[in-house]
Amino acid sequence: MMRPALPSPLPIFDRGLLRAVEKIVPPAEREEWSRTWRAELWHMHHRGRRTQPPGMIADLSIGLTQDALWLRKESWRRALDGTPTLCLATLLGLSLLSLLMALALTGGWSSLSLYLDAQLKRAMLEAPLVVFVMFATASRRPMEERSSSMKLCWIRRQMFFAAEVAMVLLLTFLLSADICHPIHRPWPATADLLQIFFFVVLSLVGLRWAFRDQEERCKQCLCSLAMPARVGRPSHNLLEWNGMELACKQGHGRLSVPEMETSWCQSSRWTNQQPEWRESTSI
Amino acid sequence: MDTPRLSHSAALILKALSLGYCFGLDVMEVTGLPSGTVYPALRRLERDELVESKWEPEEEAAAKQRPARRYYEVTRTGKAAALAATERYPLLAHLVAEKR
């Protein structure tokens, strides 16, 4: 796109500022952003009817930078929202935060490793038990997959789930250690018991979330499903299908989750979208 | 459809737009909000489909010897949201005067 020429050029400071800040803007939106701000700055300099309030240029400089930052942040949000990378990165970030908190509480790396060492040995015994209980009791709906070409996706999905479970266990272990540290010195036995209790409770809650999160992700790209829509009526449950439908934002497919398990509809059903329909159904 | 709940500054900006102040600079002047608040808020309102932005026709701007500007219009959802915001923040109606 050709930039329309301005009737009179902008001051050197403004041009330099625009050139420097436009690098923050995502390339696809850069041209329009630049055009918008060239026009805004030009109009600010040529307002005949009013004098420019002092600090107006400085204020607009902040405004155009904030605008560029917003566009960059928004492009990251659009690219990462609901992705497995963001999910794992968030869990990792929270774990690092918990580790830093533990470091601050214990006062140094050596005392932290001493404190966590004993807790970790116990957690290595508790964690498999918690995972076993969670798998045994989770109301995980069986998934009906119609396509045989989904093997690779299935492997990716299991790897992501394993990573998610591991991150949840790590986070809950660190959190439980943080919570019980203040009472560890005066009452070590009580602190140990409480640490076991908190670790078990938090990891059960966390793993339950992980199961639910897995169910509500696209079976191909592993992004969170969106646009939940209720289908059917509960009062017609014996006559027709009734439940929730969720769709992949990139148009890979649709998940139908029955409200109640019936003899003709016992499991959640993932339906792949035909490639030729993807373009029209993606958001 | 539920009208979205707006922050006070977003509601003030939407009110200014619905009263006919359609350019970013005008909105800044009439609301007294800094540009670092106004422009990102306009982007958010546009993303949430409460306003839509358009470009002035090039010929019209060229005839007045100035560059074309981006202007904002309140959508139907935006009008409903502005109304709801005025009910929520009654003082809004007195903060911005209608454009002559």
pLDDT at A283 over 60: no
What 3-state DSSP class applies to A14? helix
> How much is the average pLDDT of A38-64?
77
Size of interface A-B (CB pairs under 8 A): 59
Residue B80 to chain A, least CA–CA distance (Å) = 23
pLDDT at A201 over 90: yes
> How much is the average pLDDT of A159-178?
94
Taking only the tens place, the pLDDT of each residue in A60-118 is 888 999 999 999 999 999 888 889 999 999 999 999 999 999 999 888 888 888 888 88
Check residue B61 and give its pLDDT. 84
- The answer to whether B32 faces chain A, any CB pair under 8 Å, is no
Residue whose tokens read 């439940």: A243
| Residues 6+ away with beta carbon under 8 Å from A230 | A243, A244, A245
Across the interface, whether the CB atoms of A39 and B69 are under 8 A apart is answered yes
Q: Which residue of chain A comes nearest to B54, CA vs CA?
A: A36
Across the interface, whether the CB atoms of A59 and B35 are under 8 A apart is answered yes
Residues A161 and A56 in one domain: no
| Best CA proximity match to B4, nearest among B59, B49, B38, B40 | B49
The answer to whether residues A215 and A268 touch, using CB atoms and an 8 Å cutoff, is yes
Check residue A48 and give its pLDDT. 60
Q: For chain A, list the strands marked E by DSSP.
A: 143-145, 226-231, 243-247, 253-258, 268-272
Residue A4 in domain: no
Its domain, for residue A128, covers 84-215
Residues A50 and A159 in one domain: no
Residues A129 and A163 in one domain: yes
Residue A3 in domain: no
Instruction: Please give the mean pLDDT across all residues of chain A.
Output: 84
Topology, domain B8-93: Arc Repressor Mutant, subunit A (1.10.10)
Q: How many domains does chain A have?
A: 3
Check residue A92 and give its pLDDT. 96
d(CA A91, CA A152): 25
d(CA A184, CA A104): 15
Check residue A278 and give its pLDDT. 58
The answer to whether residues B28 and B36 touch, using CB atoms and an 8 Å cutoff, is no
Percent of chain A at pLDDT > 90 equals: 33
Check residue A219 and give its pLDDT. 84
pLDDT at A1 over 60: no
pLDDT at A130 over 70: yes
> Which of A146-160, A219-233, A253-267, B67-81 is predicted most confidently?
B67-81
Residue A5 in domain: no
Check residue A71 and give its pLDDT. 95
pLDDT at A148 over 70: no
DSSP B51-64: EEEEEPPHHHHHHT
Angle at A14 between CA B29 and CA B40, to 5 degrees: 45
Q: Which residue of chain A comes nearest to B61, CA vs CA?
A: A7
Residue-wise pLDDT tens for chain B (100 aa)?
Answer: 566 778 889 999 999 999 889 899 889 988 889 999 999 999 999 999 999 999 988 888 888 888 899 999 999 999 999 888 888 888 877 777 766 6
Distances (CA, A) of A219 to A49, A60, A210, A271, A278: 60, 46, 15, 9, 15
Residues A198 and A154 in one domain: yes
Residue A183 in domain: yes
Q: Which carries the bigger pLDDT value, residue A227 or residue A203?
A: A203
pLDDT at A131 over 80: yes
d(CA A278, CA A48): 52
> Residue A230: pLDDT band by 50, 70, 90 thresholds?
confident
d(CA B14, CA B86): 10
Residues A196 and A266 in one domain: no
Across the interface, whether the CB atoms of A6 and B25 are under 8 A apart is answered no
d(CA B49, CA B69): 20
What 3-state DSSP class applies to B70? strand
pLDDT at A149 over 80: no
Residues A33 and A53 in one domain: yes
Residue A24 in domain: yes
Considering only CB atoms, B67 lies closest to which of A39, A60, A74, namely A39
Residues A71 and A185 in one domain: no
Residue A196 in domain: yes
Residues A22 and A68 in one domain: yes
Q: Which residue of chain B comes nearest to A10, CA vs CA?
A: B67
> Residue A7: pLDDT band by 50, 70, 90 thresholds?
low
Check residue A95 and give its pLDDT. 95
pLDDT at A146 over 90: no
**Domain limit, last residue, from A24, A53, A80:** A80
Check residue B40 and give its pLDDT. 94
Check residue B50 and give its pLDDT. 94
Check residue A184 and give its pLDDT. 83
d(CA A219, CA A144): 11
d(CA A196, CA A176): 8
Check residue A280 and give its pLDDT. 58
